[in-house]
Amino acid sequence: MSIANLTPTQLRTAADLQEKIEGLNQQLNQLLGGKTASVAVSVAVAKPAKKKKGMSAAGRAAVAAAQKARWAKIKSAKKISAPVKTAVVVKPAKKKISAAGIARIKAAQKARWAKVNAAKPAAKAAPATKAPTRKISPEGIARIKAAQKARWAKIKAAKK
């Protein structure tokens, strides 16, 4: 039977037996005062594999060196382009659009929106007529107020 075909329980049992044999060999050596030929039963105990790191040490060193080179390049560019404190820095003038250019842009935008609105259904374009609102006559309002006062008077009388 091969070690590869053993179950974890069988491997653990074999490892325990191996430890017992080694312990007995040590006791025998102590009694005899010398070394005796030990009966070695080689049992390979399955050890959990170490988790590999994502990158080798050489790879990490190469990445670090490349990053340092990038930062050095950026820092040197800043030193060169940094203005001298005594020198006056003149900002370039901003480009401005002429009045005619703005008018052309506005006309083109209106044409685009007209095209979009023309593509919409006609039902949404025409507003629906609003239903007439009802109004209560002053006499109706007076009747409602009187009825409300009567209800409150009844509630107050019931509380007493």
What mean pLDDT value characterizes the chain? Answer: 82
Cβ pair 14, 6 in contact under 8 A:
yes
Those residues whose C-beta lies under 8 Å from the C-beta of residue 117, and which sit 6 or more positions away, are: 125
Percent with pLDDT over 90 in the chain: 41
For the chain, which residues make up each domain, given as ranges? 1-45
Give the residue with greater pLDDT, 46 vs 5: 5
pLDDT of residue 152: 94
pLDDT band at 77 (very low <50, low <70, confident <90, very high): confident
Rounded to whole angstroms, how far apart are CA atoms 71 and 8? 52
Residue 138 confidence (pLDDT): 92
So what's the pLDDT on residue 33?
80
* pLDDT score of 82 more than 60: no
pTM: 0.23
Question: Token pair of 58, please?
Answer: 């050489």
Q: Mind listing the pLDDT tens digit for each residue in 6-55? A: 888 888 888 899 999 999 999 998 888 866 555 554 555 556 777 776 88
Higher pLDDT, 135 or 144: 144
Q: What b-and-e string marks burial along 89-119, b requiring 16 or more CB atoms within 10 Å of the CB?
A: eeeeeeeeeeeeeeeeeeeeeeeeeeeeeee
Distance of CA 145 to the CA centre of its chain: 61
What pLDDT score does 90 carry? 74
Greater confidence (6 vs 57) lies with 57
